[in-house]
Amino acid sequence: MSYPEWPADLPKPERDSYQLQPQDARRKRGFENGPPGYRRRFSAVARMVSLSCILSDHQRTLFDNFYHDDCTEGSVLFWMPDPTRDGWPLLDESGMPLTDELGTPLLIAARWLCSWGDQPPIETIQGIEFRKQFQVVVMP
């Protein structure tokens, strides 16, 4: 089964809005007295990520079509470029960018398999542009 791909024409999410929280993989053991205890509930831990994008009217339409049609109102998994790594230069041990034989920097290609968060995307108007705020669950 193939999953839909995040539209390439959409901008990268804003860095200011990025928030990541790992799923809690612990199960609390109940004690009547004393400090709480925890044990592991499961080993595959997803990550919940909050993001937002500033979109033009055309990009807003692309986003809406992707969510409503390609992802069936947010019920289908999808591939998304990792906003923390995708497109960044690959560095050597000293922090210098690695290049090919023509001197072009080598870039990292990283993507996430995601599901949409519990809430549908929120849209606000920002001048003549639109801000879409949304959550994704990055699969382990």
Tens of pLDDT, residue by residue over 43-67, are: 788 999 999 999 999 999 999 999 9
pLDDT of 28 reads: 72
Question: pTM above the 0.95 mark?
Answer: no
The string over 76-94, giving b where at least 16 C-beta atoms fall within 10 Å of a residue's C-beta and e elsewhere, is eebebbebeeeeeeeeeee
Q: What is the mean pLDDT of the chain?
A: 92
Tens of pLDDT, residue by residue over 65-77, are: 999 999 999 999 9
Residue among 83, 77, 64 nearest 19 (CA):
83
